[in-house]
Amino acid sequence: MDQDGVVRPTPESEPDSSAPIRLPLRLAAILLFAGVLVSLLAGLFHPDNASANNHAAAFSEYADSAAWTGIHLGQFVGMAILVAGLLVLFVALDLHRGAAAWLARFAAVAAVAALALYAVLQAVDGVALKHAVDAWAAAPEAEKAARLDVAEGIRWLEWGVRSYQSLLLGTSFVLFAVAIIWSGKVSRFVGSFLALTGFAYLVQSWVIGTEGFSPANAVPTLAGIATSIVWSIWLLVSAWRRRPRSAPASVP
């Protein structure tokens, strides 16, 4: 209390204005890094020796893979963790009004829709396609052409779902990136690389939708992986280095 009888807050009683963002940001950083890591680890076991658009060769590899369904389940778990991290990031940004707040809301909606499509994608690729290629590999010669047609139809369905899933996920990344850069509540370096990841997914969406898993998809895929590693690690480090804002000294 000062000479005028007014109680002024001491440094200990001053509210920490950074607390509402600091703890959710750390949780978001952990989930996002874990999602990227789990997805990459699951993808390492995916058989990719044959050209994916060479269906006969690729389907032979898939039929020989005993871990096919488990690999795709692991990829789905990675994506689920990643999207959970995006939703916690939405909370951590704590944007309530203005254009940046609306961008963050649309980004969160796009992320949830992308996860729903990814579940469909892994059901098509990890379950339906596996059964189709197994049936094709085991079929007598007279039935192989018909069985291959069925497997190719499922493959083309996979292209369509993957194309739109990449479109939504890329859109979510770009919108979150703009919201981050605009608001300045998270490192703009993270926002910049998150935007690059988003653009890489948008390019993948177009290539897969028009050409399937062609060699043209290699560059945007590698770009998406590399930039995801950069921003997820940078966000993890910066979230842990963030310190509470020091309160101003009390005026005697």
Share of the chain above pLDDT 90, in %: 78
Is residue 185 pLDDT above 80, yes or no?
A: yes
Q: Is residue 1 part of a domain?
A: no
Share of the chain above pLDDT 70, in %: 87
Higher-confidence residue of 210 and 240: namely 210
According to the model, what pLDDT value does residue 83 have?
A: 98
Is residue 15 pLDDT above 70, yes or no?
A: no
Is residue 41 pLDDT above 90, yes or no?
A: yes
Among 1-5, 110-114, 131-135, 165-169, name the one with the lowest average pLDDT: 1-5
Is residue 245 pLDDT above 60, yes or no?
A: no
Among 72-76, 156-160, 182-186, 207-211, name the one with the lowest average pLDDT: 182-186
Among 77-86, 150-159, 216-225, 234-243, name the one with the lowest average pLDDT: 234-243
Is residue 205 pLDDT above 90, yes or no?
A: yes
Domain tally, the chain: 1
Q: Is residue 251 part of a domain?
A: no
CA distance 61 to 174: 35
Q: Is residue 234 part of a domain?
A: yes
According to the model, what pLDDT value does residue 29 have?
A: 96
Q: 3-state SS of the chain?
A: CCCCCCCCCCCCCCCCCCHHHHHHHHHHHHHHHHHHHHHHHHHHCCCCCCCCCCHHHHHHHHHHCCCHHHHHHHHHHHHHHHHHHHHHHHHHHCCCCCHHHHHHHHHHHHHHHHHHHHHHHHHHHHHHHHHHHHHHHHCCHHHHHHHHHHHHHHHHHHHHHHHHHHHHHHHHHHHHHHHHHHHCCCCHHHHHHHHHHHHHHHHHHHHHHHHCCCHHHHHHHHHHHHHHHHHHHHHHHHHHHCCCCCCCCCCC
Which residue segment(s) compose the domain that 71 sits in?
Answer: 19-241
According to the model, what pLDDT value does residue 21 have?
A: 60
Is residue 6 pLDDT above 60, yes or no?
A: no
According to the model, what pLDDT value does residue 252 have?
A: 44
Among 14-23, 95-104, 191-200, top mean pLDDT goes to: 191-200
Distance of CA 24 to the CA centre of its chain: 18
Is residue 17 pLDDT above 80, yes or no?
A: no
Is residue 14 pLDDT above 50, yes or no?
A: no
Span 42-61, pLDDT tens digits: 999 998 877 888 999 999 99
